[in-house]
Chains A and B, each alone.
Chain A
C-alpha cells in the first residue's frame, strides 16, 4: 500500500513538473552561462545601467565583442563599430575630426572615446539616445555611417553558423533579434571601464603627482570641475560653451532633441579621461590640441544668451596654468585600458 502511494504520488508530481516545463518552453537543457562581475572602482557612484535586465556573461560579452568588430553590420562590409571606435585611441577615431562612413561619407560629429558607459544615462553629444542598448541602432542605420537596415543585419547574423552558436550560448537558443544583438553589444561596451590612469593610481595612493600635475589639478578643481566633475570628469549636463555653429553643418546640439531654443548649441559635457588620445576635440573636432581648447576658453568664447555663465566672460588662464592643466589632463590617460587584450579584435573577422 505504502509503495503504491509513493509511486502514485511521485508520478503525479513528475507529471506536474513535466507539464510545467513544457509550458515554460525551457531553453535548451543544460543552458548555462558564466557570469561576469562588474567592478565599481572605489569611490565611484553606482552605475545607472540596469544590469538586472541584461546580466553580464562571458558568452554575451564575447558575442558583443565579435559584433563590435564585425564589418558585416554595415552595408558594404567595411564599417564595423571598431572602424570608428579604435582601441588605441580609447575607442575614439584617432586623429580625425569626422569619421569615414559608407560610400565616401563623413559623420557630422567627432567620434567620442567609449568607456565608463555604465554610468551614462543618455548618449550622443545631444543626448538623443536614452538607453545604451538602443545606441548601436543609430550608426547601423545612418546613411553616413554603416548605412544598413536592421532587418538586413539580423538576416546576415541568422545565416551565419558561428553567430547562431554564439547567440545560443549567450541567450539559450538560436533566436536572433534586435534586442539580443544590442544587449550583447551593450555587454561588450559596458565592460570598457577605464579606471587605471595615473590620476586613479594617485587617488588610490599607488602613485604621486609631480609638481606641474598637482598644480594643474588644483587649477582644474577651481575652474573646470563644475562641469567636468570627478571621477568621470563630466556631470552629464548639456552646456553651451560659446562655440559658434559651423555654417556647413548647422549643428545646434541639444536643441534638435528638445526643440527648445534655450538648448541652442548645448552639447554634452565630455568626460576627459584619455583626453590625450581622443584628439581632435569638441563635438565637431574643430580643435586639434588641448592648447587650442584652452585658448578657446580664455579668448575664443562667442557668448550668446544660452552661453554658460561659467565661461561666457572668458576664463582667466595664464600660459603657465595652461601648461599645468595639460600636465594634469595627461594623467588621465589609461595605458592599460588601451592595451587590454579582452577588448581587442577577437580576430574572427572575415
Chain B
C-alpha cells in the first residue's frame, strides 16, 4: 500500500513539476512595435530622403538585430524577459512587432541590445534569425552584421552610387552591438492584458550623431573597424519612444 501511494504521489509530482516549470506565471503580453523612419518620415523602399547634410538617399534596405530585452522595474532593477534574437526588417512587416510574455505589471523603462553578443559570434553556425543564410553574416571574417542600411545616393562615389553600411564587429575595439535604454516619463501600470510600446527607429541618426558621417566621404562600410564603430555609436541613438498603450 505504501508503495502504491509513493507511485501515485510521484505521478502527481511529475506532472505538476513539469507544468510549473514551463507554464510561466506570465499572464500579460508586452508588444514592442518598431516604426522604421528616416528623418521622421515612414520608411518606404525606393523612396528618397535627405540626411542632415542635405545628401539625397534612396532607401533600399534596413535591418537590425534586437535581443536581450529587459524591463526596468520601479526600483531600478532590470528584469530580463527574453534571451531570444529578433531581426527587424523594413521589408517584412511581421518582423516589426515583437511579442513577449511578462509577469511584471509595473515598470518604468525598457532595455534591449541592438546586435548579437560576442558569444554567438564565436560559437559556430546558429539557427533561426541567426542562420547565416539570412544574409547578416560575414563569411570571410567570421561575425554577424549587427545592422544594415542600404541605398543609393548621387553623393556616393562608390560603384553605382551605392551606399552600403554593413555594421558589425565584436572583438576588442571593434564592438558594434549597443545597449539601448528607453525610459518612460512615468511608471506605467498595466491596464489590460497587452502592453504595447511603440518605438521609432530613425535611420537618419546613422549619419548625424556623435559622429558626422557624410555619404560623400564614407559611402561604404563592409568590415569591422573604426567606421563601423562610429556608425554603431550613431545608431545607438536612433531609437525613441513613440507611445505607450
Partner of A179, one of B18, B122, B125: B125
Residues of B within 8 A of A134 (CB): 124-125, 132, 139, 142
Contact between A9 and B124, CB atoms less than 8 A apart: no
Name the contact of A16 in the complex, choosing from B18, B223, B225 (C-beta under 8 A).
Answer: B18
Q: Could you say which residues of chain B place their CB within 8 Å of the CB of A259?
A: 223-226
Contacts of B80 in A (CB 8 A): none
1/0 per position for A234-260, CB-CB distance to B under 8 A? 000000000000000000000011010
Contact A5 B8 (CB under 8 A): yes
Q: Which A residues are in CB contact (< 8 Å) with B223?
A: 259
B11 contacts the other chain (Cβ, under 8 Å)?
Answer: yes
- Are A2 and B8 in contact (CB-based, < 8 A)? no
Q: Are B139 and A138 in contact (CB under 8 A)?
A: yes
**B83 within 8 Å of A (CB atoms):** no
Within 8 A of B (CB), among A53-100: 53-54
State which of B1, B122, B140, B226 has its C-beta within 8 Å of the C-beta of A131: B122
- Tell me the complex Cα distance, A124–B139, Å: 11
A178-B133 contact in complex given A16-B14, A128-B142, A129-B142, C-beta closer than 8 Å: yes
- Given known contacts A137-B139, A150-B133, is B18 in contact with A131 (CB within 8 Å)? no
In angstroms, how far is the closest chain B Cβ from the Cβ of A148?
Answer: 11
Q: A9-B4, A16-B15, A179-B127 are in contact. Are A151 and B139 (CB under 8 A)?
A: no
- B210 at interface, CB cutoff 8 A: no
Which residues of chain B are near A53, meaning CB under 8 Å?
Answer: 123-124
**Residue in contact with B4 in the complex, picked from A6, A124, A128, A257, CB distance below 8 Å:** A6
By the criterion of a CB under 8 Å from any partner CB, how many residues of chain A are at the interface?
42
On whether the beta carbons of B125 and A2 are closer than 8 Å, the reply is no
B126 CB within 8 Å of chain A: yes
Residue of A nearest to B6 (CB): A9
Cβ B137 vs Cβ A137 within 8 A: yes
Q: What string of 1s and 0s marks CB contacts (under 8 Å) between A1-42 and chain B? A: 010011011101101110110010000000000000000000
Report the nearest A residue to B133, measured CB to CB.
A150
Q: Given A13-B11, A16-B18, does the pair A177, B131 have CB atoms closer than 8 Å? A: yes
Bound Cα distance A142, B141 (Å)? 12
A13 touches B141 (CB 8 A): no
Q: Would you call B141 and A5 a contact (CB within 8 A)?
A: no
Bound Cα distance A50, B124 (Å): 10
- A141–B15 Cα gap in the complex (Å)? 49
Known: A6-B4, A13-B14, A154-B133. A23 touches B22 (CB 8 A): yes
Interface size on B, residues (CB 8 A): 33
- Interface positions, chain A 265-292, Cβ under 8 Å from B, are none
| 8 A Cβ contacts from B139-177 to A | 139-143
A12 with B140, Cβ < 8 A, contacts A134-B125, A154-B133 known: no
Contact with A along B65-91 (1 / 0, CB 8 A): 000000000000000000000000000
Q: Which of A19, A124, A132, A154 contacts B15 (CB 8 A)?
A: A19
Does B7 interact with chain A (Cβ within 8 Å)? yes
For residue A133, CB closer than 8 A to chain B, the reply is: yes
Complex formed: what's the CA distance from A8 to B7 in Å? 10
Q: What per-residue 1/0 map shows which CB atoms of A171-210 lie under 8 Å from chain B? A: 0000001110011000000000000000000000000000
Tell me, in angstroms, the Cα distance from A183 to B131 when the chains sit together.
13
User: Which chain B residues border A142 with CB–CB below 8 Å?
Assistant: 139-140
| Smallest Cβ-Cβ distance to A128: which chain B residue | B141
Contacts of B121 on A, CB cut-off 8 Å? Answer: 130
Interface residues of B in 44-102 (CB under 8 A from A): none
> Cβ of B142: which chain A residues have Cβ within 8 Å of it?
128-131, 134
- Whole-angstrom CA separation of A256 from B124 in the bound complex: 21
CB neighbours of B22 from chain A (8 A): 23
Contact of B125 among A15, A23, A178 (CB under 8 A): A178
For A15, the chain B residues whose CB sits under 8 A away are 15
Q: Residues 126-158 of chain A: 1 if any B CB is under 8 Å from the residue's CB, otherwise 0? A: 001111111001101110000001110010000
How far is A128 from B223 in the complex, measured between Cα atoms in Å?
12
Residues of chain B contacted by A133 (CB below 8 angstroms): 124-125
Contacts of A154 in B (CB 8 A): 133
- A54 CB contacts on chain B under 8 angstroms: 124
28 CB-based A-B contacts, threshold 8 Å: A2-B1, A5-B5, A6-B7, A9-B8, A12-B15, A13-B7, A15-B15, A16-B18, A54-B124, A124-B140, A129-B139, A129-B140, A129-B141, A129-B142, A130-B143, A137-B125, A137-B137, A150-B135, A151-B133, A154-B133, A177-B131, A178-B125, A178-B131, A179-B125, A179-B126, A179-B131, A182-B124, A183-B124
5 shortest interchain CB distances as A-B pairs? A150-B133, A133-B124, A12-B11, A9-B8, A16-B15
